[in-house]
Amino acid sequence: MASPNKKKTTKTSWEEDQTFEGGKIIVRGARTHNLKDITVEMPRGKMIAITGPSGSGKSSLAFDTIFAEGQRRYVESLSPYARQFLNKMQKPDVDEISGLSPAISIDQKSASRNPRSTVATITEIYDYLRIVYARIGQPYCLDVDVRIQKLSQDEILGIVLKSIEDSEVKTATKKQTEKVMGIEVSK
């Protein structure tokens, strides 16, 4: 249990959290709901499972502490104009959380019953990802493994004329040769 003289402060900005302490999310002194001043370290960028019996504080840690603080920090980083349209978010009862990134939470109760749903479609980030990949991605021709690039009308015309010219030369040379008993003979 936290001592009564202990000052309750939570790191509040992304700038204070730039080091991410070796790639870990660190929660110190979490007391949200039925959590009793717990401290945990979790690796960043990994799949993490929080398990335990009913009422042990799994949801309190995942949703009401870690996710709530990540979302609160994200909203706090928005402009005052954008924040006016959002509800003020309460800080979770925790001494410190470090290594936190903006967070998305998907509660299993709210998941779509559509078997074709993915994390991207449920969180509505799918359309944004398509735009990002279309804008920053670099397409390649799968047949010849050459980067596809924008061409002017003159460049396209030049390529088409060269292709026709090459095709006519190949056709003309084919007409000049003939196979006799499997041997090519020129006329």
DSSP 63: I
Mean pLDDT to the nearest integer, 175-187: 62
Which residues are within 8 A (CB) of 52 and not within 5 positions of it... i.e. 6 or more apart?
A: 58
Three-class SS state of 30: strand
Q: What is the mean pLDDT of the chain?
A: 80
**pLDDT of 182:** 62
pTM for this prediction: 0.53
pLDDT tens track for 105-142: 777 665 567 778 888 887 788 888 888 888 888 888 88
Task: Looking at the structure, give the CATH architecture of the domain made up of residues 15-105.
Answer: 3-Layer(aba) Sandwich (3.40)
CA gap 75, 96 in Å, rounded: 18
| pLDDT tens digits along 9-48 | 444 444 444 444 458 999 999 999 999 999 999 998 888 8
Residue 33's SS3 state is coil
Contacts of 176 (CB under 8 A, 6+ apart): 186, 187
Q: Which two tokens stand for residue 171?
A: 């056709």
